[in-house]
Amino acid sequence: MPIKKGPTLRLVRSAPRRKRVAIHQLSGLILSRTRFGGVVHHGDLTFDDRVVRLKKHQNSIDDYIIPGFIDLQVNGACGIDVMSATAGELLELAHCLAHEGTTGWLPTVITSPLETIERIDAVIAEAMAVQAETDRVAQNGSASLPGATILGMHLEGPFISPERRGVHPPLNLLPLGDALDRVSRLKTLKLITLAPELDGAIEAIRVLTARGVVVSIGHSDATYEQTLAAIEAGARMFTHLFNAMPPLHHRAPGVVGAALSTSTARAAVIPDGVHLHPALLNTPNLNPVVTSDRVALASTDGAPRPLFGGLIQEARTENGAARLPDGTLAGSVITMLDGLHLTATRLVSNGWSLNGVLLEYGEMAAFGPAGILGLTDRGRIESGWRADLILLDRDLNLKAVFVGGRELD
């Protein structure tokens, strides 16, 4: 989606106190969660690479300023597949995502041979190193091309249930011994989806959590009790809740029932209207965060192409999602901004104010994901926090995106 440039951005001369990216000022309606609750007010937002000051005042500018989206599950987009991409292509994908309002993301790898996962880990590490150097150079005032920050790998498998593998290949492993050791040594691993009913899973959750990896429950046939045991061991998320798991049953609540009865682990949901009925997005006690679960078909013409590094030979965009020739869901094709539009349409029709929707979606798509990853420098619009920002007009069209205070072209 092209960014619509607006007249509300002013460039202010850089302050002499430090050498960083130029200081900017945006005016509009600022919406964000902070330590003190929701912030909704007209005012000016001054920032360089971080937010410097929020100043309240009444003005006639109707633009919305919200935190940049953080997407925890991106298999690909814009014709680029994470599992077959070079480091340069991952950086191209990061630039594409940023132009859609996403300012941080996790390249996602599905169940594969361990050698494949290790190869992709090295590629992601290379791309992250290039981004880090680019950011360092930018802090010294040099021009650079910003893209959505690669925050690490989301490994969706190989420790998943054979009965709930979806489009994953039948290469499932138990989280034990050499397999667990090799996975836990991955350089970029930040989030892993696993099935807690597998032999060794509960201890694996403890091991991975102790090493700083976030564990998410998904592609699972676990009972309610097994799921709660996983949460007690340290699991903090559910991957695309309701998908690749048994439906809720009143006598066997399973994974879904556990997600609805805990506040410790958050449910990642895909707000495309296909993976999840819109009516369920605001289910009481769901405590959701949103992800796109995008694949390489997203932001393309939808023509058939292989996915997941060729593990899927052919998929196409059909009926609002990526599908195999037999109609099986293979992922999403929405952007995080599309998710906002769909969510706003649903909630406003149910009596929500648009300001309330933007606050709620910002929590689900920015602050919530940052919290899951343990990030304390982004996801909010607050003094001292990273200036990952989105400017929207009153129709929620994208007008500008800032990644670390640098505006996209």
Residue numbers annotated as active site:
293
Q: b/e map of 235-273 (b: 16 or more CB within 10 Å)?
A: bbbbbbbbbbbbeeeeeebbbbbbbbebeebbbbbbbbb
Is 77 in contact with 305 (CB distance < 8 Å)? no
Structure tokens at 330: 């293979």
Helix axes 114-139, 87-98, angle to 10 degrees: 60
Please, what's the largest Cα pairwise distance for the chain? 65
- The angle formed by the CA atoms of residues 191, 98 and 209, to the nearest 5 degrees, is 10
CA dist., res. 27 & res. 18, Å (int):
23
Reported as half-sphere exposure (CB side, CA atoms, 13 A), residue 290 has a value of 31
Alpha helices in 298-406 (DSSP H): 336-349, 354-362, 368-372
Say if residues 33 and 354 touch (Cβ distance below 8 Å): no
Tokens 């046939």 label which residue? 221
Rounded CA separation 114/140 (Å): 40
Q: How far apart are CA 231 and CA 215, in angstroms?
A: 9
Neighbours of 170 (CB within 10 A): 7
Tokens read off for 85 = 């991409």
Contacts with 395 (C-beta within 8 Å, 6 or more apart), sequence order: none
